[in-house]
Structure 1
Amino acid sequence: MRFAEEIVVDEFLPTFRSMLAEDLRERGLTQSEVADALGISQSAVSKYAHGDVAQNARIREDERIVRLVDEIGEGLATGSMSRVQALVEVEVLIRRLEDHDLISQLHEERMPELKGHGGDFNVHDPNDELRATERVLSSVRRGLRAVEQAGGFASLIPAVGSNLCECLPGADGIDDVAGVPGRIFDVKGRATIPAEPEFSVSEHVASILLAVRSHGVDARAALNVRYDPDIVARLEDLGYETAEFDAKYDNLSEAVGAALDETPDATVLYHTGGYGIEPITYILADSAEDAAEIARKLA
């Protein structure tokens, strides 16, 4: 009797780890850094690197596995993907491969009595909440890296600071929105990001995002930058619909809703401020990466 998990342990994991170790080494990571990224010993990395670990050719040549190795290798090397997300992505792929796919095929070959029955169970849900939260955090990290590397982004940061947020698909409160703790500030002409993104840390920008979503806008992300008529004009020149709302609102949702009633396709909201209120522009997008890309066009 042989279990599918044995195929995973004996054939999939050695092959996958070898591929990932090779990928990370090719990206310039040291043997010690690869060991830390994969959570294994340096001696194990050495064995993978020198081909001392048996690999399954069918697993190694599977296009989905090759793509995932490349995605995780880039994410771990650049810091845009956490080890938790990497683990979740691999686990999800393993469960898919166990379900009437490659691992179940290999399982049936090792135990012919299973032919026609392999992979009839699925122990992981690809839409698991952990996977969704890690995907959002990863997107925010990539967006933050983009604005950090944009030379002129600091000039777009308002006095109150910027924040880049993205929400879960079914978000209904700020607990479902990830952003930067403490916001992004201009420090001597450089965009400074004080900490890794977290959920429940952005109240204002998250509230804007939730307000527009409550009025039927499909945006999943928002980024605030300073207001300037030239900035709004440049965004309009780039093809983005803009809408102004009243900064002196008693009810944010009503103020945003009134603006969207006049311009339903708006992807940029702004207000011109008021007494004690700094004027701000809000960029809406499908993801944090997309919002960051729009800001880069302005920088």
Structure 2
Amino acid sequence: MKFIEEVVVEEFLPTYRSLLAADLRDRGLTQSEVADLLGISQSAVSKYATGAVEVNGRVAGDERVRELVAGVGQGLASGELSRVGALAEAEVLVRQLEQDDLLAKLHEAAFPPLAEYEGGFDVHDPDSGLRASERVLSSVRQGLRTLEESPAFAALVPAVGSNLVEALPEATHVEDVAAVPGRILDVKGRAAVPADPEFGVSVYVASVLLAARRAGHEARAACNVRYTPAIVEALAGLGRDPVEFDAVGEAAGAGGAGQGDADDIDTAVADALAGAPDADVLYQTGGFGVEPIVYVLGPDAATVAGRVRDLAEHVR
């Protein structure tokens, strides 16, 4: 793990100080004067100004950095810019370069896992897409551990397999929903999770979750299990609120096709929730070529997994 602040200290700061020290010396300031302005020792100024300190070529060659050095150097040398003002100007550029810019790219190079995240981000933004995505993935992983550790869960896995999914806060498409690639399977009485969760790998369960959200439901997560009347009854006994929906829409979702299929799912789920807006379990009893399925909904994957675990223990 490497923090972007480390990149600033190791790559930006020595380069910036070297350029600024050399600029100030070129403007006729003494080594002592430069040391006072930069708040460093005279020996450090000597090393910076003479090139004895290694610099980062990408930082040194960035036009914005060079413009900052020239502007700050001129302001400090003339007395028009205070040391606090010089610091503020540098901090502004650092923050800019951290936001999917030069320092962010250097951060990715120093910490390769960041490069796997698609899309720009501000690592300091508490509401960044990166942070939201990682929180969702973490929640799904936590939920999967709960299911894997439950000896009774495998008996609830339907023939099509189960999945545990969680959507981003503003999710609108299956690409915004994290799930298990390939689904969770019952392998000799144990739940087998084939891979780490990813976004955009579930259509079957994610489509139902998104349909519920489009109908006004606040659920962010879902897990599908096999259907029997006893399972629905058990969920009601555990305090859940089940409601049935039309299997036709769900069958289209299993195929993962186009907008017409999504509209079918939306209609079926919306019709069901219209009469039971507080329902936290959706189920369909099957049809031609369609396996009956129960969907347990909840605020996050970890919570949903806990509810499914409790169900498994109750009906085992």
Equivalent residue runs for 1:97-108 within 5 Å: none
Distance apart, 1:126 and its partner CA: 1.1
Per-residue CA distance 1:207-233 (angstroms, 9 max, x = gap): 001000001101000100000111111
Equivalent residue runs for 1:108-119 within 5 Å: none
1:296 matched to 2:309? The reply is yes
Long gaps (5+) in structure 1: 11-112
TM-score by length of 2: 0.57
What's the counterpart of residue 260 of structure 1?
273
What's the counterpart of residue 221 of structure 1?
221
Residue type of the alignment partner of 1:262? G
Equivalent residue runs for 1:179-194 within 5 Å: 179-194=179-194
Per-residue CA distance 1:127-168 (angstroms, 9 max, x = gap): 111111111111100100100001100000000000000010
How many residue pairs are counted as aligned between the two chains? 194
TM-score by length of 1: 0.60
Per-residue CA distance 1:69-125 (angstroms, 9 max, x = gap): xxxxxxxxxxxxxxxxxxxxxxxxxxxxxxxxxxxxxxxxxxxx86xx99x979421
1:231 matched to 2:244? The reply is no
Residue type of the alignment partner of 1:196? D
Distance apart, 1:275 and its partner CA: 1.3
Between the aligned partners of 1:205 and 1:248, the Cα distance in structure 2 is: 14
Structure 2 counterpart SS, 1:282: strand
What's the counterpart of residue 287 of structure 1?
300
Distance apart, 1:264 and its partner CA: 0.8
Between the aligned partners of 1:184 and 1:297, the Cα distance in structure 2 is: 18
In our comparison, the structure showing a higher alpha carbon Rg is 2
Identity across matched positions, percent = 57
Structure 1 counterpart SS, 2:248: coil
What's the counterpart of residue 205 of structure 1?
205
Residue type of the alignment partner of 1:287? D
Distance apart, 1:292 and its partner CA: 0.1
Q: RMSD of the TM alignment (CA)?
A: 2.5
What's the counterpart of residue 99 of structure 1?
none
Distance apart, 1:274 and its partner CA: 0.8
Between the aligned partners of 1:225 and 1:9, the Cα distance in structure 2 is: 51
Long gaps (5+) in structure 2: 11-82, 96-123, 250-260
Between the aligned partners of 1:191 and 1:9, the Cα distance in structure 2 is: 47
What's the counterpart of residue 155 of structure 1?
155
